[in-house]
Amino acid sequence: NLIEGEEQDKYQAKLRIKGGSIIPAGAIIQNAGENSFDPLSLYVCPDQNGNAIGELYVDSGDGFGFQKGDYALVTFTAEKKKGSVLVKATGKLGKRNIDQEITKIKVQ
């Protein structure tokens, strides 16, 4: 499936997603000091069986704190049931807390 790039920015590429994938996406940022996951969107492309999986990795963006567990790796799953798609955060690794609200879920 195809996700169109940001129409206001001619330099944003189109994104192709393989069936069975979930892609977390955030805002366009200029440097690592900015929060690229505000707002956070999930692009879900179920496979032939209606399932999808994806991960989101977050750390400080600077330094080596990730080596001591200062990161978050969140797993998302999606399952198609009775004409709708249920998306869940099913696992988390690391010590970093993330309070990101998912503002958009788009099923392809």
Residue 25 pLDDT: 83
Residue type, 13: A
Q: What is the pTM of this model?
A: 0.77
Residue range 67-79, pLDDT digits in tens: 999 999 999 999 9
User: Position of tokens 């790796």?
Assistant: 73
The phi, psi pair for 45, rounded to 5°, reads -130, 90
**Please, which residues have CB within 8 angstroms of residue 70's CB and are 6 or more apart in sequence?**
59, 60, 94, 95, 96
Structural domains present in the chain = 2-107 (2.60.40.1180)
- 108, 78 contact by CB (below 8 A): no
